[in-house]
A and B are shown apart, each in its own frame.
Chain A
C-alpha cells in the first residue's frame, strides 16, 4: 500500500468524524452500563431498530431521518422504561442480574434481529437526504457531509446529555443512584424510578444513533452485532461512566479503525474494536472488588 501523507490525514479526519458518531452509539451504554451497571448488550439492536424506523418513514414520507428520530424518541424512551421495569422485577430484585439478566438482553438482541430479518429481509436499506452525497473539499481533504452531519448532531446530543447529567436534578440523581441508593431514598427519591428514567434515556439515544447510522451507511439486521464490541470498548476505554471520556475514546477507536481499514483493508476493521476491547479488559487493573 502506497503510504501517502494525504491518505493518512484523510484517514485520521474520517476516523474523528466516525468517532463522533460512535460516541452517539455508545452514550446510551455509558449511561446504562457505565453508570447504572446494567449490561444491556441489546443496545445495538435498538439502534438498528431506530435505523429501520427512520428508513420506513423516510421511504414512505420522505421525512429527514434525524427529524424522524427526534419524533420517535418518546416512544423509545417508553420502551426503555418498560424494559427496565421488567429487568428490575425479574432480575435485579432477585439478585439474578449477572447470569439471567445477561441472557435476557441477549435474547432481546436476538429476537430483534430475527424479527427485522423476517419483516425486512436481509437486503441493505438506506435513506435519502440532501446531505447524503455531497462532499466538502478542503484542498487535499475530503469530508463527506453524510458523515459530518451525524457527527455534529451527535456531539450536540452528547453535550445535551452531559448538561442534563451534571446540571439538572434528575441527571444528578442518576449519577448518584449508582453510588448511593440509600442517600437517594433518604431524600425521598425512588432509586428505581431514577434508574427507569435513566434507562429510558439510554434507549431513547438509540433512536437518534440509529438515524445517524443509516445516514452514514446502508443497514441490514445483522449490522448491530458489529457494534456490540465497539460500544463496550469505547465505554470501558472512556472510563465507564464519563460522557467526555466516551467522546475521546470513540474518536480514538474511530481513528484506529480508519487507519487499519485504509492501510490493511476493510475486512480487518471489525477485529479492531473488538481487539481493542480484549486488550483493554486484559490490561485493566480491576480485581473482583475493583470497578
Chain B
C-alpha cells in the first residue's frame, strides 16, 4: 500500500474513532483515549530507535517532559495555539536527542542506554531547579473550557493527539519501507558489517535519535493542557519510561504494528485498571508483562501471531514478509 494511501486510511479510521467517541458523549472517553493515543506516539517513537536500530532508550520520560516544559516556558512568554507548541516541543526534543546521540552513539549500545538514564535524571534535576517553569512547586496551565467547534477542550486535545498518532505511525511505516529502514536493520543486526557494507551508521543513528526524540517531545507538548498542573514528578514519571519500552516489546518490535498493538492493549488495560485497582498494582502488572514477554515471547504479539497463524498467505502487516517471518520461521527459533 502506498504511503499516501495509508495515511488517508489512517486518517479515516482516526476520524471514525473520534466520531464514535463523540456519539458516546462522555468526556471520560476522551480523557482516557488521549492517554492511550499518547502512548501510541511514545511507543512508536521509542521503537524507531529501539526496535529498528536496537538502541534502548530508558529516558523516554525526559524527551516527553522536555516537550511539556517547553510548552510551559513558551506559555509564560506568550500563549500559543497547541499545534505551534507541538512543533516547538518536537524541535526542542529533537535537538536534545541529536545532541545526546552525538555524545554517546559512538559507543556501545549498553553505554547509550545508561546515558539515556543519566540524561533523564540530569534533566529532571535541571527542571526542578528552574523556577521560571515552576521548579518543584509545579506550574499551572489554565485549560480553556471549550474549543469551538469541538465542544469541550479535551475533545480538541484528543483530536490533536489522534493526528500525532496517525503521523507517528505513518512516519514509522515510511521509514520501514525505505532505504533508511534497511540501514536501521543492519545497525541492529551487526554494526561492523553494516559499516563494511557502506552504511553510515553514526549518521543513521543520529537520524533515529532525532526523530524518536522529536516525536516524544511532540507527544509531551499538549500534556500541560491535559493535566492542568504540571509537576516534574508527573512529567518525568517512571510510567512513561516503562510503558514506552514495554508496549513495543510486548506488541512486537519489528514493525509499526507492534507498538500500536502494545499501546492500545496495554494502554487501555491500564486505564481500566487504574479505575478498578490501584495504579501501583497496575504498573506492577506492566513490569511483569514486560519481563514475561521478553523471556517467553521475544517477538511480542506479532511474533506469537506469526508463530501460530503462520500459514496466512497475506502478510497482515503489509511488510516484506521476510522481515516478520524472520525470527519465527527458522528451525530452533525461540522456544
Contact = CB atoms under 8 A, between A and B. Distances in A.
Interface of A: 33, 39, 41, 86, 90, 94, 96, 98-100, 102-104, 106-108, 110-111, 113-115, 117-118, 225-226, 228-229, 232-233, 236, 267-268, 270-271, 274-275, 277-278, 281-282, 284, 286-289
28 contacts: A39-B114, A41-B58, A98-B109, A98-B110, A100-B249, A100-B294, A103-B56, A103-B249, A106-B245, A108-B291, A110-B283, A110-B287, A110-B290, A111-B284, A114-B280, A118-B280, A228-B114, A268-B125, A268-B129, A270-B125, A275-B122, A278-B104, A278-B122, A281-B104, A286-B107, A287-B106, A288-B106, A289-B192
Given A103-B56, A278-B119, A267 B128 contact: yes
Contacts of B287: 107, 110-111, 114
Q: Which of A96, A102, A267 lies at the interface centre, i.e. has the most chain B CB atoms within 10 A of its CB?
A: A102
Contact of B114 (A41, A94, A114, A286): A41
Contacts of A115: 284
A275 B118 CA distance: 7
Interface string B66-110: 000000000000000000000000000000000000011011111
Across chains A and B, which 4 residue pairs bring their CB atoms closest together, nearest first? A107-B291, A274-B118, A271-B125, A111-B287
A281 B294 contact: no
Interface in B189-241: 191-192, 195, 201, 238
A284 to B, nearest CB: 7
Nearest to B113: A102
Contact of B129 (A103, A267, A274): A267
B291 A111 contact: yes
Contact of A229 (B108, B111, B118): B118
A33 to B, nearest CB: 8
Contacts of B183: none
B50 interface: yes
Nearest to A288: B191
B129 A229 contact: no
A227 to B, nearest CB: 11
Contacts of B109: 98-99, 102
Nearest to A110: B287
Nearest to A96: B298
A103 B113 CA distance: 10
A281 B56 CA distance: 16
A288 B192 contact: yes
B288 interface: yes
Interface residues of B, number: 47
Q: Which of A103, A106, A114, A282 lies at the interface centre, i.e. has the most chain B CB atoms within 10 A of its CB?
A: A103
Nearest to B103: A282
Contact of A281 (B115, B288, B334): B115
B159 interface: no
Interface string B270-291: 0000000000110110111011
Contact of A104 (B119, B121, B253, B295): B295
Q: Which of B54, B58, B114, B284 lies at the interface centre, i.e. has the most chain A CB atoms within 10 A of its CB?
A: B114
B119 to A, nearest CB: 7
A110 B115 contact: no
Contact of A267 (B104, B125, B290): B125
Nearest to A279: B103
A274 B107 contact: no
B117 interface: yes
A104 B291 contact: yes
Given A118-B281, A278-B115, A287-B106, A103 B294 contact: yes
Given A41-B114, A111-B288, A286-B107, 4 more contacts: A86-B295, A106-B58, A110-B286, A281-B114
B32 interface: no
Contact of A107 (B107, B118, B294): B294
A265 to B, nearest CB: 9
A271 B126 contact: yes
A111 B54 CA distance: 23
B242 interface: yes
Interface in B118-154: 118-119, 121-122, 125-126, 128-129
Contacts of B103: 278, 281-282
Contacts of A228: 114, 117
A99 B118 contact: no
A99 B56 contact: yes
Contacts of A100: 249, 294, 298
A78 B119 CA distance: 33
Nearest to A275: B122
A103 B290 CA distance: 8
Contact of B290 (A90, A107, A117, A282): A107
A255 to B, nearest CB: 19
B121 A274 contact: yes
A96 B238 CA distance: 24
Contacts of A33: 110
Interface string B309-335: 000000000000000000000000010
A277 B238 contact: no
Nearest to A231: B114
